Amino acid sequence: MTTSAPASSVLAAVDLALFTTLRLGGPARRLVVVTTARSCVETIRAADAAGEPLLLLAGGSNVVVSDRGFDGTVVRMAATGSHIDDAGVLHAAAGHDWDALVADTVAAGYGGLECLSGIPGSVGATPVQNVGAYGVELSDVLIEVDLYDRRCGVVRTVPVSELGLGYRTSVLKGADTAVVLGVRLALRRDGRSAPIRYPELARALGVELGARVPAALARAAVLTLRRGKGMVLDPADHDTWSAGSFFTNPVLDAAQAAVVLERIRSRVGPQVSVPQVSVPQVSVPQYPDGSGRIKLSAAWLVERAGFTRGYRGPGGRVALSGKHTLALTNRGGAGTEDLLALAREIRDGVAGCFGVTLVPEPVLVNCAL
């Protein structure tokens, strides 16, 4: 006689630092690990019925948990599994490792996800954040998601058009009314990449913008680029003990952008140790978003405000990555408050120099900037 593995397991007083890529965060009063969508729904229903504070956690790659932890139930989504149907649609469970999923699709001869290689975390977090990299966003391939609606107590399928996906955001971000249980994504059945839209990736591949290449080649190039920026998890490399890019690129309307760009030109000049920048022709990375707004490079602003790679925070326990100025990293022995102090210093420094207030990308749990 055989018995199946339990669909959930319960742990008490668990340090959440064990479950975040920053390796930061205090204890949870109770942690429930769920391995099926059904057990996830049942656990959440029970917590909601009891009026229990609830936090959903999966890969822990885009979250900053306070040193106080979470005084309630943390549901860790560990439901995995995926398959590709005859139409080339990928079905994946929310707890599945995202990069493993991308690797599997490329190995199976499908394209479409290769530019999203190396992004840490789980499948269920990708629509919440509308993850993106190297010219591709999840919204380019997402068809629909299965959600547990906590308000109605039902599971429903929601098309991408109802998710309000934008630059690193969705109607799900910052809300606790619904939980992603699974996703369906449209793959390219010819095994070739999406058109290469990102100049850095095009240069790495030696192709023109708009070209398509075998998905495996694009994935390899993306992983190489991400490793060079400390954006592929490596337990031995403290530059990867981060939540990825901590701040989003600011998106401004035309009037706001004009004011900010003039302020940049008035501040960045010969007196600043940036030899390649001159006044009045300051080369400021900027990207029209197609709706009349302009996206500026947060990394460029951070660097020009005086925060260089490797910049150290309180006691040297936290620092900007030595490879990428948008990654705030735990150098060992840090607390969440150390990280937040460095984040505030950078945010305030950029605002003081250029009049732009950077917004954090990760979800902040029981803490704030």
Tokens coding 63: 């979250």
Largest CA distance in the chain: 79
What is the phi/psi pair of residue 123, to 5°?
-60, -40
Q: Which of 193, 245, 304, 347 is catalytic?
A: 245
Nearest by Cα to 30 from 15, 51, 18, 45:
15
Active site residue 117: no
**Spatial separation of the C-alpha atoms in residues 246 and 148, rounded to whole Å:** 28
Q: Out of 23, 76, 150, 168, which one is annotated catalytic?
A: 168
Cα separation, 29 vs 354, in Å, equals: 42
Backbone angles phi, psi at 93, to 5 degrees: -80, 155
Give the chain's length. Answer: 369
- Confirm if 142 and 165 have CB atoms less than 8 A apart: yes
| Amino acid at residue number 50 | A
Q: Based on the residue annotation, tell me whether 361 is a catalytic residue of this protein.
A: yes
Alpha carbons 134 and 225: distance in angstroms, whole number: 10
Say how far residue 287 (Cα) sits from the centre of its chain.
20
185, β-bridge pairs: 90, 142
Contact yes or no for 67/26 (Cβ under 8 A): yes
Planar angle of CA 342, 348, 354, nearest 5 degrees: 130
End-to-end CA distance of the chain: 55
Active site includes 278? no
Q: Please, are residues 180 and 40 in contact by the beta-carbon 8 Å criterion? A: no
Q: Which of the residues are catalytic?
A: 168, 245, 361
